[in-house]
Amino acid sequence: MLFDSHTHVNFKDFDADRDAVIQRCLDADIWMINVGTDVAYSKKAIEIAHAYQEGVYASIGIHPVRDEISNGVHPNDLDDADFSAIENMAGDEKVVAIGETGLDYFRIVGDEVRAKEKQKELFMKHVELAKKLQKPLIIHCRDAHDDLIEILVSCFKFHVSGPRGVMHFFTGTREDAQKYLDLGFHLSFSGVLTFTHDYDELVRWAPLGKIVVETDAPFVAPMPYRGKRNEPSYVKYAAQRIADIKGLSLEEVAMQTTQSARELFMV
């Protein structure tokens, strides 16, 4: 069994064959979380999850650079109504996490200072919602680890128990990784491991019990599907690379990462 902790079968890329893609996974004993990046895609993720008795779940939130990921909304035009819609959906039983949220300074649009402040403000709202509902966070971070860690430390310092979450598509340094582990977060690795050795050392170092796997489909398909549409059934390629790097069997990595994901997302 495998667990794709971060995929986007809710995106329009899957409109033509969504049910077939999901059924292919469930038949192969692969579970998934469809991650929302705005209100519409969050709603869609919940709707999909309700069509399956088990194995398909939703995470809801507003991505820090949603203009690129979603439906053309400029990230600076943050609308309070959008976040209220997320809050109103977050109690749904199929919503197992809050996100995709976080900070992305790689793709800042317009005034830098204002854009960063807006991103932080929105991220903190997601963190507070997750804490209130006792649900884990799914966090995106690019070129912003220092600011993100500062926020997490301030939010979780006096919050000893309760779920934390996962650093999705983790590509930071070992020092950053250690800080996230100290805060109680898991690290998620994707199929990017199949075509670069940049993260091998990090993967070798990270404790297997703190690792989960993901595809981030439809993006970044692993070898041998590079350049094509990614899908959750390809999560096995990331797991296989982790096994190879750590000198473990695929079965061992599949079992441990699945167990970690099921504990983290409480399913």
Closer to Zn ion by CB, 41 or 237: give it. 41
| Alpha-carbon gap, residue 229 to 254, rounded angstroms | 23
Q: Which is nearer to Zn ion, 65 or 239 (CB)?
A: 65
Task: Please state the closest distance from residue 37 (CB atom) to Zn ion, in A.
Answer: 7
Helices (H), 52-192: 66-69, 80-89, 112-133, 145-156, 174-182
Q: How far is the CB of 17 from Zn ion (least distance, A)?
A: 20
Residue closer to Zn ion (CB basis): 170 or 243:
170
The residue (of 45 and 152) whose beta carbon lies closer to Zn ion is 45
Contacts with Zn ion, 86-125, as mask; x by CB under 5 A: ----------------------------------------
3-state secondary structure of 132: helix
Q: Tell me the residue nearest to Zn ion as measured from the CB.
A: 216
- Convert residues 3-42 into a mask of x (bound to Zn ion by CB under 5 A) and - (unbound): ----------------------------------------
**Cβ at position 63, least distance to Zn ion in Å:** 7
Number of residues that bind Zn ion (CB under 5 A): 1
**Residue 100 tokens, joined:** 């995709």
CA distance 216 to 190: 7
Site for Zn ion in 185-244 (CB under 5 A): 216
Dihedral, CA of residue 149, residue 188, residue 226 and residue 18, to nearest 10 = -110
Nearer to Zn ion, 123 or 243 (CB): 123
260 CB burial (10 A radius; 0-12, 13-18, 19+)? buried
Q: How far is the CB of 99 from Zn ion (least distance, A)?
A: 9
d(C-alpha 35, C-alpha 13), whole Å: 14
204 burial (CB, 10 Å; 0-12 / 13-18 / 19+) is exposed
Residues that bind Zn ion (CB under 5 A): 216
